[in-house]
Amino acid sequence: MDKLEVKKLTKVYGNKTVLKGLNFEVLSGEFLSILGPSGCGKTTLLKILIGIESSTAGTIVKNGEDITKVDSSKRGMGIVFQNYALFPNMTVLQNVMYALNLKIKNKGKAEEEAIEMLKTVKMEEHLKKYPHQLSGGQQQRVAIARTLVLKPDIILFDEPMSALDADNRLMLRREIKALQKKFKTTMIYITHDQEEAFSMSDRVMVMNEGKIEQIDVPNQVYNHPKNEYVKKFVVEHLIEKVSSIEKCTGIDL
């Protein structure tokens, strides 16, 4: 895939315009984070990109093909939500095999591929466990394996770390980046955490009230915030974090 192009994407719910004509592109293999306050339209955007919600106007073009009306299952995209959404009555292995079984007729081959992917996310010791027997971080690894095993060229993440503690977040951050390198998957990643966005991303998109305030490489957003909003919401927040670490540790960052 060479790129995803989003043109004039608009979504209206009732009398509220939730997305106001968004224009942006995501390049192949890129890691793009989306930052923005609650209610600004981040989840709605992801749902429209993957096709589980329809847009009111605008187009989505992937690889030169207009996929705005293409069925979700045929877009070559996967999504990982914050609450894992695993099937509670299926084991780890069954959860990962479920979608594969629909795609691959040979059961032995499907199982082989599922186990291989579970090894990649370091879950091979837990194949026979049920979701309730796993920690949050482990459940999220299974959810990621379940998405990756279908080999999507784009994975969308909707605040995948928000239910995890700080240690697990850091670990999973590194693992997601490693998976991205290994599979060369394009990733679009919603987070509430400015630092997470800046440390993981090739580019950061800052949204506010259904609009894109700025989309650029972290360095550029930090040094040249496009407006007062980006300065307050992103830059000042990061500066505050750094200065509080300096204060606590005495280390000059």
Ligand X SMILES: Nc1ncnc2c1ncn2[C@@H]1O[C@H](COP(=O)(O)OP(=O)(O)OP(=O)(O)O)[C@@H](O)[C@H]1O
CA–CA distance, 221 with 207 (Å, rounded to integer): 13
Residue 39 in contact with ligand X, rule: CB under 6 A: yes
* Closest CB 178 distance from ligand X, rounded Å: 26
3-state secondary structure of 216: strand
Work out how close the CB of 96 gets to Mg ion at its nearest, in angstroms, rounded to a whole number: 25
Beta strands in the chain (DSSP E): 3-13, 16-27, 31-35, 57-62, 65-66, 77-80, 154-158, 186-190, 203-208, 211-216
CA distance 43 to 22: 14
Of 8, 13, 244, 246, the residue at the interface with ligand X (CB under 6 A) is 13
**Burial (CB count <10 Å: 0-12, 13-18, 19+), residue 244:** exposed
CB 199 within 8 A of CB 27: no
Question: Judged by CB under 5 A, does residue 43 bind Mg ion?
Answer: yes
Stretch that binds Mg ion, among 36-44, 81-89, 137-145, 208-216 (CB under 5 A): 36-44
Q: Give the distance, in angstroms, between the CA of residue 116 and the centroid of all CA atoms in the same chain.
A: 22
Shortest distance (Å) from residue 84 CB to Mg ion: 15
Distance CA 73, CA 236 (A): 41
Could you tell which of ligand X, Mg ion, none binds residue 52, using a CB distance below 5 to 8 A set by kind?
A: none
Site string for ligand X, 81-120 (x = CB under 6 A): ----------------------------------------
Residue type, 45: L
Q: How far is the CB of 69 from ligand X (least distance, A)?
A: 19
- Binding window for ligand X (CB under 6 A); candidates: 20-28, 37-45, 92-100, 130-138: 37-45
**Site mask for ligand X (CB under 6 A), range 41-70, x = bound:** xxxx--------------------------
Instruction: Kindly indicate which of the ranges 17-25, 43-51, 58-66, 209-217 contains the residues binding Mg ion, using the contact rule CB under 5 A.
Output: 43-51
With CB under 5 to 8 Å by kind, the binding choice for 44 among Mg ion, ligand X, none is: ligand X
Q: Cα angle at 150 between 144 and 152, to 5 degrees?
A: 85
What does the alpha-carbon distance between residue 38 and residue 83 come to, in Å, rounded to a whole number?
17
Q: Which of 18, 49, 188, 200 binds ligand X (CB under 6 A)?
A: 18
Range 217-236 burial, b when 16+ CB lie within 10 A, else e: ebeebbeebeeebbbebbbe
Smallest gap, in angstroms, from Cβ of residue 187 to ligand X? 17
Out of ligand X, Mg ion, none, what residue 51 binds, judged by CB under 5 to 8 A for its kind, is: none
User: Judged by CB under 6 A, does residue 40 bind ligand X?
Assistant: yes
Shortest distance, position 2 Cβ to ligand X, whole Å: 27
Radius of gyration (C-alpha) of the chain in whole angstroms: 19
| Contacts with ligand X, residue ranges (CB under 6 A) | 13, 18, 36, 38-44
